[in-house]
Chain A
C-alpha cells in the first residue's frame, strides 16, 4: 500500500478512535449491556501491519465477532490499547491460524501433490506397465504377422518357382512347336515353289497348243476343270464357266487335251494340288 492510502488510513483511525470514545461514553452512561459495535469492514485495517490488513481483508467475517467479545472493558484508552492489543493478538492469532491453516493447506496441498505425484507416478508406472504389456503384445502380434508374412512369402516364392518352371516348360514346348511350324512352313514354301514351277511348265505347254478362234471378238474367257492321271495324262478337261461362245470353249478344252501329258512333279505329296485344278483362258489378261 502506498503513502496515500496510509494517509487515508490514518484519518480513518482517528475517526475510529473518536467513535470509540463516543461509544464508550454512551455505554458508560447507559450501563447497558453489551452493544454490538458495528465495525465496518474497512476499520480494522487502519493501523495494522500490511500483512494483517491484507489477511484481514481476506477474512473479514471473523474479525467482527472477536471484537464483539472484547468490548466489555472499562478504560477507553486501555480499552483501546487492549482492544488494539487484542486486536493485534487476534490478528496475530488469526494470522497464525491463517498461517497454520495455510501451512496446513499447503501441507495438505503438498501432501495432495505428493499423493498426486505418487498417484501419477503410480499411474505412470501402471501406464508404463500397460504400455509395456501392449508393446509386448504388439510385438508378439508383429512377430506373428512377420512369421505369417514370411510363410506367405515363402509360399509365393514357391508358387513363383512353380510358375517359372511351368513357363520354362511351356517356352520349351513353344519352341519345339515353332521349330515344327518352321519346318512345316519350309515344306510349304518348298511345295509352293514346286507348284509354281509346274504350273509355269503347264502354262507354257498350253500356250503352245492353244489355237485361238479367228473371227470372234477378243472379249471371251472361260474356266476349265481338269483331272490328271498319275503321269500327267489329261483324263478330262471340261468347261465349268462358259465364255458363251461354243468355239472358244472348245478351243480351251482342246488346248488342254492337246497338251497331254502335262508335266507333273514326281513326288506324290507335291502332286496333291494338281489332283483337281482349273485353267482360266483369258486372252485379255496379258
Chain B
C-alpha cells in the first residue's frame, strides 16, 4: 500500500516538473551584419547664417566618424519630413532621425534646438531620445555648435565621447614661391577654420599638443639647427625648450603636463631624455650606442614607448621610468616605428612595414600583441589618435600621388577618408585632446 502511494507521489511530482523545465524560453542570436548606425539627418528648419548649414556639418561629422551611415535620399522638404509617419522612416532603414530648428533672434544671434528620435521604439510615434535647445548662439559659432550637437548624438548612440569638437595641428609645406614655405597650422578636426601659428622659411616638424590643448610643442629649423619650442595657441608666444648640439626633436608631453620627452644626440647617438618644464632639468632615459627616437608617454606615466634599432631593425620598445628597464613591444614585421597610445592604454598605433614592403598605419593590441594593418597606400606616416581612440589621423598621398594629404581611418580599419586637399603638402598631423567647451 505504502509503495503504491509513493509511486503515485513520484508520478505527480514528475508531471509537475515538466512545465517547470520550460520556465523561460531563451533564443540565442549569434549572427548579424556589421554595419554603421543608419541615421537620417534632416535639414534644420529656419534661416541659418549664410554659409552654414547645421544639418550638413552634423551629417559630415557623423559619416566621417566611421560609426554612422547617413541616409541621404530623403523625400520631401524639412517640414514634410517632420510629419512623415514612423513606418516610412523604418522603411528607409533609418534607426534614428535628427530634426532641428533655427530661430533668428536678430543681431546675429539665434536660438537652435534639435531632436534625436528612435524610429523603432515608441510604437506609432518615434521615441524622442534627446531634445536640446541652445539660446543666443552667435553666427560665428555655428560650426562649433554643429560639432557639439554631433558630439551629443555620437555619445548618445555609441556610448563613446565624441571628438568632433577637437582640433588638429599639422605642417603645411607650400614650396611654390612662398616667402615662408613652412606653416604650422591648427584647424577644426574636419579641416575647417585653419589658423596659422608659425610661418618659417626653414622646416618645422613634430607638432605635439599639450594635455590641456592650449599649447603646442614643435621642432623648428628656423635658426638653421634643430630647436624645440612650446607655443601658446591663444597668444602666439613661444618658449625655447631645447637647443643642444646635434638633434633636438620628437617632443612628447607627459600626461600630467610637467615634462616633455625629447630626442637629443648631444652625447653621441640619438637618445631619449626628459626635461622638466618648470626646472628645465634634463634626465637621460635611454643609453647605448644605437638610435632611440620618437618617444611617447603611456597614460599611467610610468613608462614610455620609443623606436629603436638596438635589435637590428627599427622596432618599438618600452622603458620604465623608475628603473630604466627596457622591453621589446613589437614582434610582427621587420619594421615598426612612431608609436602612439590610446588614452585607455590598451591600443597602440604605429608605422608598420608590411610584407609588400610598403609602410602602412597599423594598430597593435598592447594586451594581446595582435596587429591589424589599417591603411593600404604606398607611404603612410605620422599616425595620430583622436582623444576617444576611435579615429586615426595620418599623412598619406593623394590618389595621384602628387601631394601629401591627410587621411583618416577608424581604429578598426573600416572607414577611410581623405581630408579636403589644401594647396601644398600637408604633413605631420597631430590630433588635439578633448578641448574645454568654449562659450558660444
* Residues in chain A within 8 A of chain B (CB atoms): 170, 177, 181, 184, 188, 192, 195, 199, 202-203, 206-207, 209-215, 223, 245-247, 250-255, 257-258, 273-274, 276-286
1/0 per position for B69-108, CB-CB distance to A under 8 A?
0000000000000000000001000010000000000000
B111 CB, nearest partner CB in chain A, Å? 29
**C-alpha gap A277/B38 in the complex (Å):** 28
B side interface size, CB within 8 A: 36
- For residue B427, CB closer than 8 A to chain A, the reply is no
Query: Could you write out 24 A-B pairs with CB less than 8 Å apart?
Result: A181-B11, A184-B18, A195-B22, A207-B32, A210-B33, A211-B35, A212-B32, A214-B412, A215-B66, A215-B411, A223-B26, A245-B159, A246-B156, A246-B158, A247-B37, A257-B121, A273-B22, A273-B25, A274-B25, A276-B24, A278-B27, A279-B28, A279-B29, A286-B30
A214-B36, A258-B90, A283-B31 known; A278+B66 contact, CB < 8 A: no
B44 to chain A minimum Cβ distance, whole angstroms, is 25
Query: Knowing A210-B33, A283-B31 touch, does A246 contact B24 (C-beta < 8 A)?
Result: no
Q: Does B307 contact A (CB under 8 A)?
A: no
A181 to B18: give the CA distance in the assembly, Å: 11
Contacts of A252 in B (CB 8 A): 29
The residues of A that contact B439 with a CB separation of less than 8 Å are none
Alpha-carbon gap, A212 to B30, bound state (A): 10
Is the pair A283, B22 in contact by a Cβ cutoff of 8 Å?
Answer: no
Q: Give Cα A212–Cα B414 distance, bound, in whole angstroms.
A: 14
Q: Cβ of B157 and Cβ of A246 under 8 Å apart?
A: yes
Cβ B29 vs Cβ A211 within 8 A: no
State whether A207 touches B31 (Cβ < 8 A). yes
Name B156's closest neighbour in chain A (CB-CB): A246
Given A213-B158, A246-B157, CB of A285 within 8 Å of CB of B28: yes
* B37 touching A278, Cβ below 8 Å: no
Residue numbers of B with Cβ under 8 A of A are: 4, 11, 15, 18, 22, 24-38, 66-67, 90, 95, 120-121, 156-159, 390, 410-412, 414-415
Which residues on A sit within 8 Å (CB–CB) of B415? 214
For A188, A199, A215, A274, the residue with the greatest tally of chain B CB atoms inside 10 Å of its CB is: A215
Residues of chain B lying within 8 A (CB to CB) of residue A247: 37, 67, 157-159
Beyond the given pairs A213-B158, A281-B29, 5 more chain A to chain B contacts, judged by CB atoms under 8 angstroms and listed by A's residue number, are A188-B18, A214-B35, A247-B157, A274-B25, A286-B30
A66 CA / B410 CA spacing, docked (Å): 170
> With a CB–CB cut-off of 8 A, which chain B residues contact A273?
22, 25
User: Given A247-B157, A253-B121, A254-B95, does the pair A212, B33 have CB atoms closer than 8 Å?
Assistant: yes
- Complex-state Cα separation, A177 to B15, whole angstroms: 11
6 tightest Cβ-Cβ pairs between the two chains A and B = A246-B159, A210-B32, A277-B25, A257-B120, A212-B32, A211-B35
Nearest chain-B residue to A236 (Cβ)? B121
Contact (Cβ within 8 A) A255 B27: no
- Say how far A258's CB is from chain B's closest CB, in angstroms: 6
Closest B residue to A199 by CB, please name it: B27
Docked CA distance A207–B29 (Å): 7
Closest approach, in angstroms, between the C-beta of A194 and any C-beta of chain B?
12
Complex: A181 Cα to B13 Cα, angstroms: 13
Tell me the complex Cα distance, A155–B49, Å: 114
Beta-carbon contact of A214 and B29 below 8 Å: no
Is there an interface contact between A203 and B28, defined as CB atoms closer than 8 Å? Answer: yes
